[in-house]
Amino acid sequence: MTPEEFLYREARLLDGGDLEGWLELFAENATYWVPLERGQTDPRETSSLIYDDRTLLELRVKQARHPRAHARLPLARTVHQVGNVVSREEKDLTVVNSTLTLIEWRNEKQRVWGALVEHRLRRSGESWKIAAKRIDLVNSEAELDGIAILF
């Protein structure tokens, strides 16, 4: 599987609502980061919109599935459009940069998200595991009215 195909698979899992399958794409020591500020270099230097390790990602998935998670219900329907995929080898990782356009439909309202995304992938058999994922939203410093989706 190429890195590009892996990104398409990840998008399909999210759009199909297979959050557990999506979670399995992440390595045990993975990080998932949505910086607050443009050009932010370290999630500990300033606040982030999201900075999760694998355990916190598991919690997000469990919360989304919990029947009393009223703030997340109904779950959003999404379409992830991945493009401009470029990859390079870096030590023991493959770094994959891409663009993301995400359409979200929830509570009778449609929102469009745009982002530059970086995946740091580690080989796992014939496929990959996500060691780190960074999502730089183009409007990260704007009023976002709550994020109830996974990028």
Instruction: Round to whole Å and give the CA distance between 126 and 144.
Output: 38
Q: What number is the average pLDDT over the span 122-151?
A: 89
Q: DSSP 3-state assignment of 84?
A: strand
In a domain, 98, yes or no: yes
Query: Residue 51 domain-assigned?
Result: yes
Element (H, E) at 82: strand 77-90
Q: How many domains is the chain built from? A: 1
Does the global pTM surpass 0.85?
A: yes
H-only helix segments in 2-84: 3-15, 19-23, 54-65
In a domain, 82, yes or no: yes
Per-residue pLDDT reduced to its tens digit, 54-68: 999 999 888 877 766
Minimum mean pLDDT range among 9-13, 31-35, 129-133, 143-147 = 143-147
DSSP annotation string for 114-151: EEEEEEEEEEETTEEEEEEEEEEETTTTS------S--
Q: Do you know the residue count of the chain? A: 151
CATH number at residue 82: 3.10.450.50
Position 69 scores a pLDDT of 62
Give the pLDDT confidence score for residue 9 in this predicted structure: 97
